[in-house]
Amino acid sequence: MKTNINSDATELQNDQTLYSTVPPQHPAHSADAGYQPTVAPSFQSAQPTVGNSCSQATSPLASSKSGSGKAPLAKRVAVGAGVGLVLGGVASATMAMQSITPPDDTEADPEAETSTNSDLHAIGVCDGDVDVAYGVSDDMSFSQAFAAARAEVGPGGVFQWRGQIYGTYTADEWNSMTPEQKQDYYDHFNWDRIDAPSDVVDQPQVEEPQVEEPQAEEPQAEEPQVEEPQAEEPVAIDDDINVQTNGDESHPFTMTEDSEVEVIGVVHDSDSGSNFAEISVDGQQAILVDVDGDMQFDYIQADFDGDGDISSNEYADFQGQGPSVDQLGGFSDGYEPTNDDPIDNSDQIYDDI
């Protein structure tokens, strides 16, 4: 898309009145002079990291407990010396990430699809703080798969095997974790993308300890309500945040059961064949329009945005349920609709050739 820079420059100069201060001139910042931005300030605090440290999954100082999903129902399946923490199956529903970029942008997001060996990060099953082991194949036994995943990512990781998602903690490691640490691990998963663990055929079950019920031991306070504001409870805005509105509260057109509704008039427009009704609702004007002249109003126009004007895009469609001309008292301009039916030749058989 070409842009006329010259006319744009004029327009931009007119915008100068919007601002109270004129920015200082910094020749070094000129794009025309091969501008290079100044160095971003370096702050003392550590920058957030998206790392693959397994300790992040276990540390109580790791990312927020307000995870993306509910506390999971995870089953433990002991396999030999290890414990595969069965988290569930990859949900069949997928969500495509839409990215609008120029055709030559090489950073376009690929469509995410569920597959046997999915990129669990890419399809949103877990975040980048949980390492995913990809050196696992379905033709391995579970013991082999667990060992391979463990060797690849260590404890606190995750892998997919035969359609199910497993953690890589051992029994000892898992049992030694506090409830907070376990919840922290769970919080790295998007439980909306994980189906409940199913009975996996051919899954070796050497022993099956009691089903772990995290809900019993995890703080319920960490439910998604943490991300949802309390219903109907107004959130106060701190005094140091200056909040403003753009003018006085408007009075958009509204109607309630207690509204006083008066029909001002109903008229017919012979040029268009349409019928119009003007009504007053609590003193606010509205126009009903019967576009096709079938004596039933099709939509209503009113000042819905409260800007004092009824613009062409301020209308509500009656969806075929609008009132009729007769229900509003008939035409007030004396118009008498004709009773002639429109000619319908659809069923005519012409036999007089």
Partner 1 sequence: MMISNFLKRILISVLLLSLSCVGFARTYLVAVGVADYPGTDSDLSLPANDARAVVEVYKNQCASGTLTYTVLTNEQATKDRITRAITQVFAQAKKDDIVVFFFSGHGYNGGFCAYDGNISYKQVRKAMAKSKSTNKMMFIDACHAGGVRQEASNAEHAAVSSDMKRANVMIFLSSRTDEYSLESPSMQCGFFTTYLTRALRGSADTNSDNIVTARELFLYVNGGVADYSGGRQHPVMWGRFSNDMPVITIRK
Sole window of 70-78, 162-170, 204-212, 255-263 interacting with partner 1 (rule: CB under 8 A): 255-263
From 240, 344, 347, 352, residue interacting with partner 1 (rule: CB under 8 A): 240
CB of 138 to partner 1, least distance (A): 24
Strand 132-133 relative to strand 158-161, pairing: parallel
Nearer to partner 1, 199 or 239 (CB): 239
CB of 79 to partner 1, least distance (A): 27
The reply on whether position 259 binds partner 1 by CB under 8 A is yes
Instruction: Report strand pairing: 82-90 vs 164-167.
Output: antiparallel
235 binds partner 1 (CB under 8 A): yes
Build a one-symbol-per-residue string for 69-98: x at contacts with partner 1 by CB under 8 A, - elsewhere: x-------------------------x-xx
* Residue 194 dihedral angles phi and psi, to the nearest 5°: -125, 125
**Residue 9 within binding range of partner 1, rule CB under 8 A:** yes
Distance CA 221, CA 180 (A): 12
CA distance 169 to 157: 7
CB closer to partner 1, 61 vs 235: 235
Does position 313 bind partner 1 by CB under 8 A?
Answer: yes
- The count of residues interacting with partner 1 (CB under 8 A) is 112
Read off the amino acid at residue 130.
V
Q: Is the CB of 32 or the CB of 199 nearer to partner 1?
A: 32
140 sits near partner 1 (criterion: CB under 8 A) = no
Q: Does 333 bind partner 1 (CB under 8 A)?
A: no
Site string for partner 1, 30-69 (x = CB under 8 A): xxx--xxxxxxx-x-x-xx-x-------------x-x-xx
Q: Which residue has the tokens 């509003």?
A: 328
Which of 5, 61, 216, 353 forms a contact with partner 1 (CB under 8 A)?
Answer: 5
* CA–CA separation, 282 and 301 (whole Å): 15
The interface region with partner 1, picked from 29-37, 80-88, 150-158, 344-352 by CB under 8 A, is 29-37
Among 6, 7, 92, 107, binds partner 1 (CB under 8 A): 107
Rounded Cα distance between 313 and 270, Å, is: 24
Residue from 27, 103, 283, 342 touching partner 1 (CB under 8 A): that is 27
Q: Which is nearer to partner 1, 237 or 349 (CB)?
A: 237
Q: What is the number of other CB atoms lying within 10 angstroms of the CB of residue 79? A: 21
Plot region of 295 (φ>0 → left; ψ -120 to 50 → alpha; else → beta): left
Q: β-pairing, 194-195 with 75-79?
A: unpaired
299 half-sphere exposure, CB direction, 13 A CA radius: 10
| Residue among 142 and 188 whose Cβ is closer to partner 1 | 188
- Is there binding between residue 10 and partner 1 (CB under 8 A)? no
Phi, psi of 133 (to 5 degrees): -90, 125
Q: Residue 286 is encoded by which pair of tokens? A: 């509205």
Report how far apart, in Å, the C-alpha atoms of 111 and of each of 98, 128, 191 are. 8, 19, 20
Q: How far apart are CA 331 and CA 224, in angstroms?
A: 57
What minimum distance in Å lies between the beta carbon of 128 and partner 1? 3
Q: Which residue(s) pair with 301 in the sheet? A: 287, 315
Q: What angle do CA 329, 332, 337 make, to 5 degrees?
A: 85
Task: For the segment 144-203, give every residue that binds partner 1 (CB under 8 A).
Answer: 188-190, 192-193
Among 6, 7, 10, 256, binds partner 1 (CB under 8 A): 256
Q: Which of 319, 338, 345, 346 binds partner 1 (CB under 8 A)?
A: 319
